[in-house]
Chains A and B, each alone.
Chain A
Amino acid sequence: MQTSLPSSSSSNAKPEMKEHCSHRKDCLKMIQLILDGEATDQQLARLKVNLESCQPCIEMYHLEKEVKELLTKRMEKRCCPEQLVATIKSKILRFS
């Protein structure tokens, strides 16, 4: 481990992998925006940096992605019962 630089937050050439993320909450929110397709270019760029340098962010990203995929892909989708479709159609015809 090196002694950290005095104050400047932006690192130079090699980003070291951080074991602790000091902005977990904000990072998590940003990750969700990105997975939801609601992020700005700036947020996307920030995530890229984090995914190269921040272990907790990498893990959060994978978890959020996994959970979202569970919901989009693994949930049972039902079909509306035929009978209900027929009932609605017949009722609508009597409206006008």
Chain B
Amino acid sequence: MNSLRIAYGKRQFTLTFMATIHEVMSDTPTRDDDQLLPDGDSIDQPSADTPSRGYTDEQKYQIFNKEFMPHIDSMYNFAFRLTTDEDDANDLVQDTYLKAFRFISSFEQGTNAKAWLFRILKNSFINDYRKKSKEPAKVDYQDVETTYNSEDAEAEHTVDLRAESVSDLIGDEVATALNSLPVDFRTVIILCDIEGFTYEEMAKILDIPIGTVRSRLHRARNLLKEKLRDYASSMGYNEENED
């Protein structure tokens, strides 16, 4: 089972990187096209206000190694929770890291690498995978957001659920509930509650104002609680009668 892999703990990505790689067989064609960032908005590109940093190759590998690679487990989890598919998660993480390296000169050494990487991953997901998976992306999300935007709906919208009812739920049940949310709502919960990003970091990762982060998170949690309530009641953890 995949879950047992946790036992590996934190990896070290230090010098192995510069070591000789034997498996560079030409089974994969080099992608030297400049189309990796089709819309030009996937990550901060070098421009007037983000001066291109002239890193040497050695510095590039060092940054990649020491600042990017330590986040790969978090990135993989993020990708897996977005795509809910192992192969897609693999592709997404790989694309993201290759883009990160390609545009490494727009990353300022010592700044928030995790947020920077998450932003690239999230944009790659929107540009490449969401289209592919035919998830009714925006429509889906806006429908829900509109529903909850109405003040009436929101006023009533404190989910009737007790803390004791959810305390016995296991990780799988929580994961299923989370996965059933529209991806934009799922995303804010992942970033905030699972990855521990601040609202400000989330605003940057998602390219939305902080106020939107706050309200989207609020709605996402209401939706999640509804799912958890359904779970809890189907499992027989009843709210009213506790003996």
| Chain A interface (Cβ < 8 Å from any Cβ of B) | 24-25, 28-29, 32-33, 36-38, 59-60, 62-68, 70-72, 74-81, 84-96
Contacts and interface: CB of A to CB of B under 8 A. Distances in A.
A78 B80 contact: yes
B138 interface: no
Given A71-B193, A92-B64, A77 B221 contact: no
B6 interface: yes
A24 B157 CA distance: 9
Contacts of A62: 163
Contacts of B228: 67, 70
Interface string B185-199: 000010011101011
B57 interface: yes
Given A25-B158, A59-B162, A75-B178, 5 more contacts: A28-B218, A70-B169, A78-B6, A78-B73, A78-B77
B154 interface: yes
Contact of A28 (B6, B24, B158): B158
Contact of B11 (A38, A85, A95): A85
B193 A86 contact: no
Given A36-B199, A75-B175, A86-B23, A60 B76 contact: no
Contacts of A70: 166, 169, 171, 174, 228
Interface of B: 2-3, 5-6, 8, 11, 13, 16-17, 21, 23-24, 28, 30, 57, 60-61, 64, 69, 72-73, 75-77, 80, 90, 93-94, 97-98, 101-102, 154-155, 157-158, 161-163, 166-167, 169-172, 174-175, 178, 189, 192-194, 196, 198-199, 214, 217-218, 221, 224-225, 228
Contacts, number: 132
Contact of A74 (B17, B101, B102, B171): B171
Nearest to B151: A25
A74 to B, nearest CB: 4
B194 A90 contact: no
Contacts of B101: 92, 95
Contact of B24 (A59, A66, A68, A93): A93
Nearest to A61: B163
Contact of B154 (A25, A63, A68, A81): A25
B72 A24 contact: no
B175 A67 contact: no
A59 B76 contact: no
Contacts of B75: 80
A89 B5 contact: no
A90 B170 contact: no
